[in-house]
Chain A
Amino acid sequence: MSLRRAVFAAAVSAAAGALLIGGGVTYAAWSDSAESESTTVQAGTLTATIAQKGPTNESTGSNPSIVVTSGSNGIIPGAQAQRWTYTVTNSANSATAATGTLDIAGTPSSTDDYAVMRPYLRASTTINGTKKNIPDSAFSSSGFSYSVDLGKTLKPGDSLDIILDLSMPATATNSAGKKVDVAVELLNRRSANLDVQSIFTMKNSAQLKQAGKP
């Protein structure tokens, strides 16, 4: 091989190597995401979608000491929960199966109300009929944050429903070890009317990741 050919071959080999490595995979690693209602963000050939229903009002029991105002929306300690249902889908157009999470991101809308209610807020998820409590630590001073493992590999075209419930118990034990009548304790934090009195705003996401080795 002549010298000129040797140099040319080396250059082509190195460039080809670099291009091979910097293909679609590197594009995936640097991809970003955007937010909007039911936004679909594509990264390579994996596409996640999330559909949200709710919040709806779900009865959590009755208590003669708690009088629920008929038609009231929102959490009522010991009586009513708020429920969201998320459907996470791995698009049929995706080239790969995926695992993932539902990422909960709540920001306090009233710092004062949230601080008072935080010790009593409870959350749970239900996936395929299995209910799991979200740790109380998910409600921190900065908001409500938690990642729920979908617990299942979604093939292209597969969907999964995740139910998220937010509630407060009728009674709870406070940090001093004293039993607290939550509905009485929070009575002056209730809504003035049938609309929800906002504690925090939530903007939740579905995050899918290619299953198995790339």
Chain B
Amino acid sequence: MTRRFSKPATRKAWMITAILAALFLLVPVGATTAYLTSKSTASQTIGGVGRWCSVPNPAEQPNVYRLKDFPTYSSSGSSMIIVPAVRNGEFGSGGGDGRLGVRAWACSSSSLTTGSNIKVTSWRNTSASPALNWLQPVNGSGLPSRRLNPSSGLGQELTKLHREGTSGLVGARLGGDDRAKYAWIVSSGRTKTATNASPSYSLLVHNFNIDPHPTFSSGFKSDDSGTRTVSNSVEYLATAFWKGSGEWSGGLLSPPTAQPVNLVPYKNDITSTDGRQVQWVVIEWWGATAPSDDMVLEVFVR
């Protein structure tokens, strides 16, 4: 080494070479394999939602019933279904007090006229061996999909009570033992502006009325224009004058008191008579104005 750099000129040459080599190494080696790239960006746009109204879909939720799909019952042009409501998760996720109820949903106001009527009642079966004659299930095979035949057996009995009340009374009034079968939901004076109404009870004759029932106009709410939020459903909760396992809550001189209809967990006894395991919900509409597709009723147990 000493010999190699013995001459100053040689040393200088090696130093210059070393400096240039260092500069060479500073050039990024990776760049020697770089690709050509090019990027072009479009202008900013907005992704978002539009405006609609909707109601629960019966095809997906069997405890939702589209009025338009009801079979016509009797020659009066009435359309009706009778479904068993229980507390087993099929009528809602539960977690609440088990109260039975109905939500009336709608969007369009075009069919919400006074020309048609809606009536929803609920009943306790009192026969130890009721004749349960079923129609073909709809939208599934669970209990919400079941339909009791309104023309025979228990279905016929409930249909008569729902429409005419106790035999021999004027109007759709209930007396005697029938009083402790009934729970009002969309009946006995209830409307969308009076969802907690209860029937007036006559201490003189000890009976009360299932009617009046709301019209489409007074029972449903349509979409509100110009707002993001919408309240297009009306919630009606089942209430009765009986308590416990079907005991009448009134006395000879004292009127009955309104009681919430809370169900207990279902024990697979569809013939139960206590009114806590099974409630038979009768839903009926009739009148000149046909319901629109978006008019549905949701039976729930909260």
Contact = CB atoms under 8 A, between A and B. Distances in A.
Interface of A: 3, 6-7, 10-11, 14-15, 17-18, 21-22, 25-26, 28-31, 33, 35-52, 54-55, 57, 63-69, 72-77, 79-80, 82, 84, 86, 88, 94-96, 98, 106, 109, 117, 144, 166, 168, 170-171, 178-179, 181, 183-184, 186-194, 196-210, 213-214
Interface stretch (B49-57, B131-139, B142-150): B49-57
Contacts of B40: 38-41, 48-50, 88, 205-206
- Chain A binding surface, main DSSP class: mixed
User: Contact residue range for chain B?
Assistant: 35 or more
A183 B54 contact: yes
Contacts of A208: 37-39
B52 A72 contact: yes
Interface stretch (B15-23, B251-259, B267-275): B15-23
A65 B52 contact: no
Contact of B48 (A26, A31, A199): A199
A214 B54 CA distance: 57
A43 B36 contact: yes
Interface string B29-50: 0111111111111111111111
B37 A76 contact: no
Given A15-B20, A84-B45, A67 B54 contact: yes
B158 to A, nearest CB: 28
Contact of B230 (A46, A52, A106, A188): A188
- The 4 A-B pairs at the shortest CB distance, nearest first, are namely A74-B50, A14-B20, A183-B54, A64-B293
A171 B64 CA distance: 15
B13 A3 contact: yes
Contact of B13 (A10, A31, A33): A10
A6 B46 contact: no
B176 interface: no
Interface in B224-247: 226-230, 232
Interface in B54-94: 54-58, 60-61, 66, 93
Nearest to B54: A183
A197 B228 contact: yes
